[in-house]
C-alpha cells in the first residue's frame, strides 16, 4: 500500500465510477482498475462492489475510508511542513535568551513574530551569554540573544539589538540614593555585588573593566549570576551593583538605579542577536530579518570581543 493507491481508493469511493475517478486522477481507466485490484489483493478483501450503475464501497471499504482520508491529510501536512521549513515559514527555532532580553525586547518581538509567521514553533531556553554561545557551537541553539561585547573565540555573528549603559543599583537606605546620577568613582569604597567570572565571564569582565576605567578595582562582597538576585542583594544593603539600564524595568522595592556621569566615550553594553557565521538556515534568516526590525541600534556596528581586564 502506498499514498498513490490510497489517493486512488478515496477518489474512486467519492466518484463512484472508474471513468470519472480516472479523469479526476488524470490517468487512464485500465491502470486505475489494476491498481485498485492490487490494493484489494493486499487487503485480502474486496473494497468495492462493481455494478452496472457504478462502484460502491463494501463494508470493508467503508471501514477503510476514514483512515485513508486521514492518512492522506497527514501526508499533505507533512509535505506542507517541509515546504514551510524550506522557505523559512515554519519549523522549530531553538533560541537561547539572557534574562534581561525578557524585560522589553522579547515582549515586543515574539507577538509580532507569531502573527507574521504562525507556523514557526519557538523553543526558548534561558541561559547565560556564554552558555548560549556554546549552545550555538554545539547546535543546541539556532539563534540567541546575548549580552555584548562578548569574550568568546568562536566565529559568531553579533547583530546589535540595543545599546545600553551600566547604571549603579543602590539601596534606597544608602546615602548615595539621595542623588539621581553619580560618577562611578564616588562609589569606589562601596562593597560591590558582581557577576561570577566562571559563570558569566563577559559581563563580569565588562563590569570590572568599567570600574577600572573610573580608576579603581572594586571590593567584591558577593557574587550573583542574575540581575534580579543582584537587585535583591542590593535591597538587602549588602552592597551596590552594576547592571544594564534596562534593569530599571524590573527594579524591586528598596532599590534605586543611578545614572553614571563618568561613562567613558564608546563604552556601552547591549543585547545582540547571535548566530554562527555561515551555514544559517532559511528559518534563521527569516527570524533575523524580522528581529532586526526591533533593533534600536541600527547604526551600531557589532563590536569586536572585549579583552579581559587585568587586575
pLDDT of 304 above 60: no
| CB atoms inside a 10 Å sphere around CB 293 | 12
Plot region of 155 (φ>0 → left; ψ -120 to 50 → alpha; else → beta): beta
**Stretch 69-96: mean pLDDT:** 80
Q: Which residue has the higher pLDDT, 86 or 20?
A: 20
Q: Per-residue confidence at 87, pLDDT binned at 50, 70, 90?
A: low
C-alpha cell recorded at residue 142: 539556532
| CB atoms inside a 10 Å sphere around CB 150 | 26
C-alpha cell recorded at residue 116: 507574521
Q: Which residue has the higher pLDDT, 242 or 78?
A: 242
Mind listing the pLDDT tens digit for each residue in 132-166? 999 999 999 999 999 988 877 678 899 999 889 99
Mind listing the pLDDT tens digit for each residue in 88-111? 667 889 999 998 899 889 999 999
- Contact (Cβ atoms closer than 8 angstroms) between residue 200 and residue 130: yes
pLDDT of 301 reads 41
CA distances from 42 to 1, 5, 17, 48 (A): 7, 11, 22, 14
Question: Rounded mean pLDDT of the chain?
Answer: 88
pLDDT of 143 reads 95
pLDDT of 79 reads 79
Q: How far is the C-alpha of 91 from the C-alpha of 135, rounded, in Å?
A: 19
167: enclosing H helix or E strand: strand 166-171
Q: Per-residue confidence at 171, pLDDT binned at 50, 70, 90?
A: very high
Amino acid at each position: 500500500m502506498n499514498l498513490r493507491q490510497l489517493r486512488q481508493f478515496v477518489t474512486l469511493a467519492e466518484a463512484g465510477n472508474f471513468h470519472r475517478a480516472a479523469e479526476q486522477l488524470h490517468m487512464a481507466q485500465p491502470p486505475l482498475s489494476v491498481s485498485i485490484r492490487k490494493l484489494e489483493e493486499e487487503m485480502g478483501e474486496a473494497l468495492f462492489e462493481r455494478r452496472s450503475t457504478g462502484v460502491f464501497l463494501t463494508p470493508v471499504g467503508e471501514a477503510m475510508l476514514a483512515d485513508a482520508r486521514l492518512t492522506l491529510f497527514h501526508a499533505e501536512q507533512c509535505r506542507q511542513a517541509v515546504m514551510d521549513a524550506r522557505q523559512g515559514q515554519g519549523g522549530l527555532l531553538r533560541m537561547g535568551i539572557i534574562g534581561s532580553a525578557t524585560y522589553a525586547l522579547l515582549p515586543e518581538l515574539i507577538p509580532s513574530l507569531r502573527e507574521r509567521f504562525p507556523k514557526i514553533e519557538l523553543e526558548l531556553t534561558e541561559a547565560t551569554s556564554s552558555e548560549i554561545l556554546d549552545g550555538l557551537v554545539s547546535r543546541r541553539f539556532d539563534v540567541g540573544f546575548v549580552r555584548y561585547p562578548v569574550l568568546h573565540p568562536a566565529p559568531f555573528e553579533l547583530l546589535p539589538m540595543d545599546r545600553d549603559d551600566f547604571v549603579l543599583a543602590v539601596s534606597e537606605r544608602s546615602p548615595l540614593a539621595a542623588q539621581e546620577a553619580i560618577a562611578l568613582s564616588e562609589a569606589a569604597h562601596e562593597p560591590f555585588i558582581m557577576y561570577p567570572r566562571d559563570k558569566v565571564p563577559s559581563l563580569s569582565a565588562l563590569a570590572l573593566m568599567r570600574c577600572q576605567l573610573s580608576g579603581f578595582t572594586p571590593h567584591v562582597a558577593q557574587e550573583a549570576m542574575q540581575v534580579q538576585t543582584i537587585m535583591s542583594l542590593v535591597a538587602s544593603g549588602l552592597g551596590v551593583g552594576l547592571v544594564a539600564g534596562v534593569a530599571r524595568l524590573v527594579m524591586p522595592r528598596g532599590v534605586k538605579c543611578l545614572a553614571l556621569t563618568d561613562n567613558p566615550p564608546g563604552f556601552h553594553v547591549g543585547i545582540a542577536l547571535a548566530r554562527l557565521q555561515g551555514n544559517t538556515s532559511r528559518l534563521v534568516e527569516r527570524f533575523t530579518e524580522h528581529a532586526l526590525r526591533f533593533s534600536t541600534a541600527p547604526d551600531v556596528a557589532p563590536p569586536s570581543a572585549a579583552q579581559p581586564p587585568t587586575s
